[in-house]
């Protein structure tokens, strides 16, 4: 079975970054389209599991229902770092229903669900990660999501502070988001004391991280 969709962003053929969308054996990129070859039916099976997960996450279902006409995230560009699983896919689906664009990078080298990864890509979401990738590939995927939009993301939903820390690497020129949320105690500890770029209208300065991040996120786990 083949799934074809408009690619949200094209990488040069032969680029070392091309793995981030899908493995070379699974996709062809020509003429602004990506064709995913899914001969084993992984996408259909993943979508069944995704639909079941949606019924098991009633808070997100209620959010989608209550805000389906307001579409409050219209214009928002959300960079998300998290495990590529059916539960996170439901979060991504919810954000998109609320009007957001989402780019998603894996937060682990070993937890990616290949079927879910392909299914979300088939829906037109930019996803980086694959099961069994190296730490270097994981880091490269984080940077690709960080830099996915020329004007940068407006919001970050992070796990392990990978995206937040990447925004503060020397030489990073990607515009800062308005808000970043970290969901894990480990991630908060990782950025405690880190000099962070702080935006103002007139300047960009560095200040130590000294306030508690809001633990509010679209996560029912």
Chain centroid offset of residue 152 CA: 13
Count other C-beta atoms under 10 Å from residue 123's C-beta: 17
> Residue 56: is its pLDDT beyond 60?
yes
Find the mean pLDDT for residues 91-115.
Answer: 96
The pTM assigned to this predicted structure is 0.76
> What is the DSSP annotation of 40-79?
T-HHHHHHHHHHHHHHT-HHHHHHHHHTTTT-TTTT-EEE
Residues 6 or more apart in contact with residue 145 via CB below 8 angstroms: 79, 80, 81, 103, 104, 105, 126, 128, 163
Find out whether 85 and 110 touch, Cβ atoms under 8 Å: no
Find the mean pLDDT for residues 129-133.
Answer: 92
Predicted local confidence at residue 52, as pLDDT: 95
Find the mean pLDDT for residues 82-94.
Answer: 96
More confident residue, 195 or 116: 116
Label residue 68 by pLDDT band (50, 70, 90): confident
Predicted local confidence at residue 208, as pLDDT: 39
Predicted local confidence at residue 66, as pLDDT: 92
Nearest to 42 by CA among 93, 114, 111: 114
> Residue 12: is its pLDDT beyond 50?
no
Greatest mean pLDDT among 14-23, 85-94, 186-195, 208-217: 85-94
Where is 165: in which H helix or E strand? Answer: helix 162-166
Label residue 190 by pLDDT band (50, 70, 90): confident
Interaxial angle between packed helices 86-97 and 114-122, expressed in degrees from 0 to 180 and rounded to the nearest 10: 20
State the average pLDDT for the chain.
78
Angle (nearest 5°) at CA 58 between 163 and 104: 20
Where is 179: in which H helix or E strand? Answer: strand 179-182
């Amino acid at each position: 079975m083949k799934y074809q969709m408009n690619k949200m962003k094209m990488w040069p053929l032969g680029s070392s970054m091309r793995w981030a969308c899908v493995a070379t054996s699974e996709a062809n990129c020509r003429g602004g389209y990506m064709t995913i070859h899914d001969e084993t039916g992984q996408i259909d099976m993943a979508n069944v599991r995704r639909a079941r997960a949606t019924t098991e996450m009633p808070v997100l279902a209620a959010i989608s229902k209550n805000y389906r006409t307001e579409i409050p995230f219209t214009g928002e560009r959300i960079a998300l770092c998290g495990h590529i699983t059916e539960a996170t896919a439901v979060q991504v689906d919810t954000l998109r229903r609320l009007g957001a664009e989402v780019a998603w990078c894996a937060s682990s080298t070993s937890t990616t669900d290949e079927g879910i990864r392909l299914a979300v890509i088939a829906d037109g979401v930019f996803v980086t990660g694959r099961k069994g990738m190296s730490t270097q590939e994981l880091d490269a995927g984080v940077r690709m999501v960080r830099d996915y939009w020329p004007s940068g993301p407006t919001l970050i939903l992070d796990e392990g502070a990978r995206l937040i820390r990447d925004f503060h690497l020397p030489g990073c020129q990607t515009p800062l988001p308005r808000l970043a949320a970290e969901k894990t105690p480990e991630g908060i500890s990782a950025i405690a004391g880190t000099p962070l770029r702080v935006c103002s209208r007139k300047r960009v300065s560095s200040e130590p991280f000294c306030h508690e991040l809001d633990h509010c996120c679209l996560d029912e786990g």
